[in-house]
């Protein structure tokens, strides 16, 4: 089963479980450059999703972090935009989306529902990954939860 896990944001973390157990992950910056209109962030995000899909041919299900609280209004607006574009992309591809709460992801990954960014990164390293930042570590944590829920936890090859 090909599972895509996303930590939505201007710097989107992603992790992908490929059929057969291989896991790949990374981050993608979706910010518009100074010479670009604000809408370019959504174009970059959609292009990222298509690029990830090309790696496996077909994604079977998408898990994503369901954020309920944001520190700032701009972050909340950006998250809503990324989520809307993800919902549209998934609808066009007839993909199921599974939202998972922030605390649920952190507790499953570290044992603490309020784990900070360094703890999320440290746990990823303990599990044999080398995340570039907390966004990638969060995506790996979401993927671990997804694999558990989908019954694929024994099928891992990093």
Q: What is the CATH number of the domain that holds 85?
A: 3.30.420.10
Number of domains in the chain: 1
Is 32 contained in some domain? yes
Is 91 contained in some domain? yes
Under 8 Å between Cβ of 124 and 140: yes
> What residue numbers bound the domain in which 86 lies?
3-149
Sign of torsion over alpha carbons 38, 39, 42, 47: negative
Q: What is the β-pairing status of strands 3-7 and 11-17? A: antiparallel
- CA separation for the pair 100, 146 (Å, rounded): 9
Is 47 contained in some domain? yes
Is 156 contained in some domain? no
Q: pLDDT truncated to tens, each residue of the chain (158 aa)?
A: 999 999 999 999 999 999 888 999 999 999 888 898 889 999 999 999 999 999 998 999 999 999 987 677 888 888 999 999 999 999 999 999 999 999 999 999 999 999 999 999 999 999 999 999 999 999 999 999 999 999 886 544 44
Is 155 contained in some domain? no
Is 157 contained in some domain? no
Under 8 Å between Cβ of 14 and 150: no
- CA separation for the pair 103, 92 (Å, rounded): 30
Is 70 contained in some domain? yes
Note the pLDDT of residue 72. 77
Cβ neighbours of 121 (radius 10 Å): 21
* Alpha-carbon distance values, 43 to 55, 86, 119 (Å): 19, 12, 32
Is 154 contained in some domain? no
């Amino acid at each position: 089963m090909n599972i895509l896990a996303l930590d939505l944001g201007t710097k989107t973390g992603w992790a992908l479980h490929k059929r057969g157990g291989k896991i790949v992950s990374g981050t993608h910056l979706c910010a518009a450059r100074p010479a670009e209109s604000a809408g370019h962030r959504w174009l970059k995000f959609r292009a990222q999703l298509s690029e990830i899909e090309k790696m496996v041919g077909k994604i079977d299900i998408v898990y994503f972090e369901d954020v309920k609280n944001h520190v700032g209004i701009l972050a909340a607006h950006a998250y809503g935009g990324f989520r809307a574009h993800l919902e549209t992309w998934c609808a066009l591809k007839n993909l199921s989306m599974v939202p998972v709460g922030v605390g649920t992801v952190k507790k499953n990954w570290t044992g603490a529902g309020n784990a900070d960014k360094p703890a999320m990164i440290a746990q990823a390293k303990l599990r044999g990954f080398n995340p570039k930042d907390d966004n990638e570590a969060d995506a790996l944590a979401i993927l671990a939860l997804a694999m558990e829920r989908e019954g694929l936890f024994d099928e891992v090859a990093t």
